[in-house]
Amino acid sequence: MAVHEVVPSSSQEAPGDPEEALLRLRDFLEVSDTRGAVAYLRELAGRWPDSERVRHYLNVLDPGPARVLHGQRSRSFDGERAWIKAHAHEHPGRWIALYGEELLASEPTLVAVREILRQMPGREDALVFFVPGTDWW
């Protein structure tokens, strides 16, 4: 496997807006450099903290830690699967949180869904899922 190096943005002329800067994200992803992409997105998030697209890509590529509970059986996700099959098309382009067949949150960003779940004790193991746009259905 060949090793590719993507030149960091600091050594290039700084883009004038987040949309232009996000075009460089593809350079990292084309060579499967997820760590480099996340570092670059963190840099962009510092430069443009209000950019929804920058936050979106950062949340997608660096969603946070997952938990593995050794020695414990996982609960059934049959209710969530049924809900997604029946209702996900009603929430295109949104992050949703489900517990059983109950919709806990439907928001445009993962950060917003996480914040809602933090305020719901006992729902730490809710299923969080991104619903692709309407062309996926």
Q: Give the single-character DSSP code of 75.
A: P
> Which two tokens mark 39?
């570092």
- pLDDT per position as a tens digit, 78-133: 999 999 999 999 999 999 999 999 999 999 999 899 999 999 988 878 999 999 87
> Which two tokens mark 7?
């030149």
The answer to whether the CB of 18 falls within 8 A of the CB of 48 is: yes
Beta strands in 22-115 (DSSP E): 94-99, 102-107
pLDDT for residue 11 is more than 60 = no
CA 121, 50, 56, 80: dihedral to nearest 10 degrees?
30
Q: b/e string for 86-124 if b means 16 or more Cβ within 10 A?
A: eebeebeebbbbbbbeeebbbbeebebbbebbeeeeebe
Question: Would you state the pLDDT for residue 84?
Answer: 94
Question: Would you state the pLDDT for residue 14?
Answer: 62
